[in-house]
Structure 1
Amino acid sequence: MHFITALIGIYRAEIGLLILALMFVAFVRERYSPTVVSVVGACVFAALGLLDEKDLFSVFSNSAPLTVGAMFVLSGALIRTGTINRVADLVMARAQRHPRLALAEVTLGTVILSAFLNNTPVVVLLIPIMFKLAQATGYPVKKLLIPMNAVAVMGGCVTLIGTSTNLIVAGIAAEQGMAPFGIFDITPYGLAGVLAGVAALTGLSFLLPGDPPSIAGEDGGNVQDYLTELTLSRDSDLIGRTVGSLSIIGRSASLLGLKRAGEIRRRGIEEEELHAGDRLLVHADGATIMTLRESGDFEIGLAAASETPGGGTVIEAMIAPSHPSIGERLIDIPFLHALRVRIIGIHRARHLPGPDLSETRVRGADRLLIAGSDDSIRSLKDNAHLIGVDISRTRAFRPRKAWIAILALTAVVLLSAVELIGIGLAAFIAVGVILVTRCIDPEEAWAAIDGDVLILIFAMLAVGLALEQAGSVALMVGWIEPLLAAAPAWTLVFLIYFFALLLSELLSNNAVAALLTPLTIALAHQLGADPRPLVIALMIGASACFATPIGYQTNALVHAAGDYRFSDFVRIGIPLNLIVGLAVCTTLTLLA
């Protein structure tokens, strides 16, 4: 044992590099998730004594991942209050009137949203918009999805809070003694990448496929929409208004028809005045249905008895293939008559049920939203012909709180921009504000945090610290420094950027950022160069990855939604990587 301990003490740096190499192999093989590999790697360093207990747990005091978590919650509040959906509705309204101009507006809006919000919800909401724009403009949707995603990724590189990678690099750099980064310190270089990238996407669109997706529906397969019916109550304030004046119709809700006196009208109903008892046939996502349910203007859904209340708990349930009502009308399904429940929506994968809610023929795997009392819900859970009966996680929007969520995020940006308080503290105060004002409930706020990302960050921070303490970073710098000693200073910016880019196309960009930041700073000090432009190059290079579906987390979303091939990303992504990288690095060389 003493011999092994002595051996580890002598070859600490080399053993650290060996562990790192094994981690890279595990990352590339993808047998385990990057988070698991990172945690195991940190544990190995600790077990071998290359990282002591105090230093291992010191990474949890780093503000970067905690700031990332706070930004997740702020993004969740904007979604919960319907702010993001409202923006999407405005985009679709513009697209219906000026579809080609809307493409340019969506591009600009994507850059702005991605600069201040987590990219993933932005891309998720934009995917169905791209499908609608493709229909309106006649462009193949495959020529829109990859460019939209690329613009979102580039937009995340415009501010410090645009991506978690930026915050990680900035946090490690501050711990290494560098001056803190301001929220807009990277903006000139990120904007250079955006301008070059948009120009490249415009000129290289011929490299994108033009065939239609073979597996996605018209919404890209990302939104679970339901068919429902809205019955106008006798005391509704909407009586006498025209159908076309209703504000409920937008991206999240489409009007399919008006049912009056048993007759369904599909066309020419926009100018029709609403009467008590009119039924509007609507196709909407779950959150919109829940919001309409709470509005009080409509009696929503289908019940066997007209006096059945629409309140109570809402559950989701799937029709089992063994259900005796398969092929029968939904209004005749037995539990609707045996229990005091109301079916408020039905979803069918890649198919719109109909002609209306009551006449829909039941199929296996149909998903139902059902509202009822606690006793009725317990009875449904015991129904052997229903699968996965559980409380619905879909919640109504809180539009009256939207201004608070917007103001909270704006305050984070402004307070950190003028350096009145740090971005981490500003984000935490904003989280407190949106929680106490109930923009988002606590359980929803914690659910908005991507725990996998945070654990990955903490683990890679521990690995980076272990490599420093073991002398592995100094050893690598010692190898690299003689090769770059005679090279011009500007070449370092290009080398760091494209090295980070290459690794991030294959590995987790957050892991790459956490590993390369201390190495980059140490190399800059060894060569007598300013580390700041190198760190900025690392930030952007680790995020602006377009050549593989795994290069950035949102790449995988559009890869699935657009039914792309791996080669589609490579064909457009490699030239886009080069053009954006050259623009960013040239701007850094000239301005930094």
Structure 2
Amino acid sequence: MHMVTALLGVYRAEIGLVLLACVFVAFLRERYPASVVAVLGACAYAALGLIDEKGLFSVFANPAPLTVAAMLVLSGALIRTGTINRVADLIMTRAQRHPRLALAEVTVGIVIISCFLNNTPVVVLLIPIVFKLAQATSIPVKKLLIPMNAVAVMGGCITLIGTSTNLIVAGIAAEQGMEPIGIFAISPYGIAGTVAGIATLACLSFLLPSDEPSIGGENGGTVQDYLTELVVPHDSDLVGREIGSLSLFSRSVVLLGLKRAGEIRRGDLKEEELHAGDRLIVRADGAAIMTLRESGRFELGIAADSETSSHEGTVIEAMVAPSHPSTGERLMDIPFLHALRVRIIGMHRSRHLAGPDLGDARVRGADRLLIAGSDDAVRSLRDNPHLMGVDISRTRAFRRNKAWIAILSMAAVVTFAALNVISIGLAAFLAVGVILVTRCIDAEEAWSAIDGDVLVLIFAMLAVGLALEQAGSVALMVGWITPLLEVAPTWSLVFVIYFFALILSELLSNNAVAALMTPITIALARQLGVDPLPLVIALMIGASACFATPIGYQTNALVHAAGDYRFADFVRIGVPLNIVVGLAVCTTLVLLN
């Protein structure tokens, strides 16, 4: 034990680097999640005394991870209030009228939205839109998904709140004694990279495959569309109105037909007047169905008893087991519909929509049902051996009347931070308070919008970075690197930092690379007597603008699965894109500093 203590006293810095190498190897092997590896690394440093207790717990006072969490909640509020969904509807409306022009408009829109919202929810909502755009423009979807994802990532590099990586770097830089980085301080360099990147994508699109995905369907597997029916009540103010005058139809709610007196009509129904008891057969996603349910303007779905309302009770999701005795029979004849006071308000079938209407759709194993019923009925359904995964639906109705509050809250964060009235972190937390108290989003949903895995990774890597400083490992690395860079031109440092961060981030977590490299980059700049700000900005963008692998950025993995891409597809377009964007960003940094 005495020998171990002696070794730690003499070789603290070297042991810190050995542990860092072990953490990197563990990241690369991916035997454990990145967050678990980071926590174990922090524990190892603490156990060996390379970071003291005060230092270990001081990382939880860093405002950067908490700012990331607050921005994720604000993004969740914009989704919950239907703001992002409404933007998507406008895009699809434009795409139907001017498909080619819509591509350019979508590109610009993605850049703007990604400047202020987390990339992941933006790309999740973007995937089904891109599938629809591909149909409208007759451009293979595989030629659109990777470019649109790349544009979203590049847009996130334009402002400080565009990605969590930017906020992490800025937070650590402030703790290292640098002046706070403004929300638009990185904008000229991010814009330069984005313009160069979009031009590169336009020129090199021929490198992308043109075959159709073998999985995912028209939505890329990201949205569950349900078949449902909207029943016009006898006392409704909709009676006598033309179907085309209704504002409910959009990308999320598509009219498939009109059922009247047992007869289904298809085709153009815009001028058809609604009668009491009419059934509008529609395709809608879960959020749209829940929004229609809360509006109370229609009765939804089918029930054995006309007095059973879709507006009462709880909505659950259930999957039909392959062993269900009603397999092959009409949904209207499924036994629990007649035995319990429930109403089936939606039916989802993988790959395609059931039909011709909800009641006459033939039941298949793995069909997913949305069912509204009382608590007693829900308990009975949970005991049904022929239904699987019976649970309360997590899909929620949009709170569109609160959208203006969510929009103003996000705008206030950007404005106050840009004018240096208050810090980004404080502005974001105040905005979170506003959206919670005004019920733009419920507390449970707000906390679920926070990616706990990401926050744990960030806190743990902050501890690892601080341990490297306390152990002297950062100073040791800087001492090794300084002689090599002293003879190099000052401008070359920007390129070295950018591409080193880029290469590491293609293999490891962006946030982990940012947390590790920020203190090293600042120490190196001070040792060489140069301004650390351009190097820190190079690190920010280099750690995020990763396009060459499906694991280079979290959204890359999303489109990799949705578009059924191969690993080589990312490499083919991503490597030249990495180089061009990097050269544009670094050149702009050198010229403007």
Normalising TM by the smaller chain, what interval? Answer: over 0.9
Match of 2:489 in 1: 488
After superposition, residues 390-409 of structure 1 pair within 5 angstroms as 390-409=391-410
Amino acid at match of 1:17: L
Q: Secondary structure at the match of 2:146?
A: helix
Per the alignment, residue 419 of structure 1 pairs with: 420
C-alpha separation between the residues in 2 aligned to 1:245 and 1:108?
31
What corresponds to 1:335 in structure 2? Answer: 336
List aligned pairs for 1:408-557, cutoff 5 A.
408-557=409-558
CA deviation map 1:76-106 (0-9, x unaligned): 0001001110000000000000010000000
1:233 maps to what in 2? Answer: 233
The residue aligned with 2:251 is 251
> What whole-Å deviation, never above 9, does each CA across 1:521-544 have from its counterpart, x for those lacking one?
000000011100000000000000
In the alignment, what sits opposite 2:315? 314
Deviation at 1:579, TM superposition (A): 0.4
Distance 1:111 1:239 in 2: 43
Correspondences of 1:107-146 after superposition (within 5 Å): 107-146=107-146
Find the aligned partners of 2:332 and 2:531 in 1 and give their Cα distance. Answer: 72
TM-score by length of 1: 0.99
Equivalent in the alignment of 1:188: 188
Alignment match, 1:356: 357
- CA distance in 2 between counterparts of 1:107 and 1:129 reads 12
Name 1:3's counterpart in structure 2.
3
Shift of 1:268: 1.8
Q: Give the aligned residue type for 1:382.
A: D
Q: SS at 2:322's partner residue?
A: coil
Deviates more, 1:244-253 or 1:223-232: 244-253
User: Quick check: 1:198 aligned with 2:201?
Assistant: no
Partner Cα separation in structure 2 for residue 264 and residue 9 of structure 1: 83
Give the distance between the partners of 1:244 and 1:25, measured in 2 at CA.
Answer: 60
Distance 1:170 1:49 in 2: 28
Q: Does 1:99 align with 2:99?
A: yes
CA distance in 2 between partners of 1:136 and 1:237 (Å): 35
Report the alpha carbon displacement of residue 499 of structure 1 after superposing the two structures with TM.
Answer: 0.2
Q: What's the counterpart of residue 74 of structure 1?
A: 74
Q: Distance in 2 between matches of 1:453 and 1:436?
A: 26
Structure 2: which amino acid aligns with 1:507?
L
Distance in 1 (alpha carbons) for counterparts of 2:152 and 2:523: 32
1:175 counterpart residue number: 175
Shift of 1:54: 1.0
**What SS does the aligned partner of 2:86 have?**
helix
Distance 1:287 1:83 in 2: 13
Secondary structure class of the residue paired with 2:8 = helix
Q: What are the superposed Cα offsets for residues 211-246 of structure 1, whole Å, 9 maximum, x if unpaired?
A: 111112011111011110000112222222221222
- What does the per-residue CA deviation read over 1:36-94, in whole Å, with 9 as the maximum and x for residues that have no partner? 10000000000000011111000000000000000010000001001110000000000
Distance in 2 between the 1:416 and 1:211 partners?
A: 45
1:283 aligns with 283
Equivalent position SS for 1:389:
strand
Q: Deviations over 1:452-493 (max 9, x none)?
A: 000000000000000000000000001100000011110000
Shift of 1:574: 0.2
Partners of 2:138 and 2:366 in 1: how far apart?
Answer: 33
> Any gaps of 5 or more consecutive residues in structure 2?
none
- 1:250 shift after superposition: 1.2
Q: Deviations over 1:97-131 (max 9, x none)?
A: 00100000000000011100011111011111111
SS of match in other structure, 1:218: helix
What is the DSSP-based 3-state SS (H/G/I as helix, E as strand, rest coil) of the residue aligned with 1:161? coil
* Cα displacement (A) at 1:322: 1.1
* Same amino acid, percent of matched pairs: 79
Amino acid at match of 2:591: L
Q: Distance in 2 between matches of 1:340 and 1:131?
A: 39
AA in 1 matched with 2:250: G
The one-letter code matched in structure 1 to 2:315 is V
One-letter identity of the residue aligned with 1:59: V
CA distance in 1, matches of 2:245, 2:409: 32
Distance in 1, matches of 2:509 and 2:236, equals: 53
**SS of corresponding position for 1:415:** helix
Distance 1:238 1:139 in 2: 39
- Whole-Å Cα distance in 2 between the matches of residues 199 and 241 of structure 1? 48
Shift in Å, 1:296: 1.2
Letter in 2 for 1:28: L
For residues 243-301 of structure 1, give each alpha carbon's deviation from its aligned partner in whole angstroms, at most 9, with x where no partner exists. 12222211111111111111111102122111111111111111100000011110001
Using the size of structure 2 for normalisation, the TM-score is 0.99
SS in 2 for 1:317: strand
Cα displacement string for residues 419-456 of structure 1 (whole angstroms, at most 9, x for unaligned residues): 00000000000000000000000000000000000000
Q: What is the aligned partner in structure 1 of residue 157 from structure 2?
A: 157
Taking the aligned partners of 1:415 and 1:148, their CA distance within structure 2 comes to 30
In structure 2, the partner of 1:25 is 25
* RMSD between superposed Cα atoms in Å: 0.7
Structure 1 residue runs of 5 or longer lacking an equivalent are none
Q: Which amino acid aligns with 1:369?
A: L
1:2 Cα deviation from its structure 2 partner: 1.5
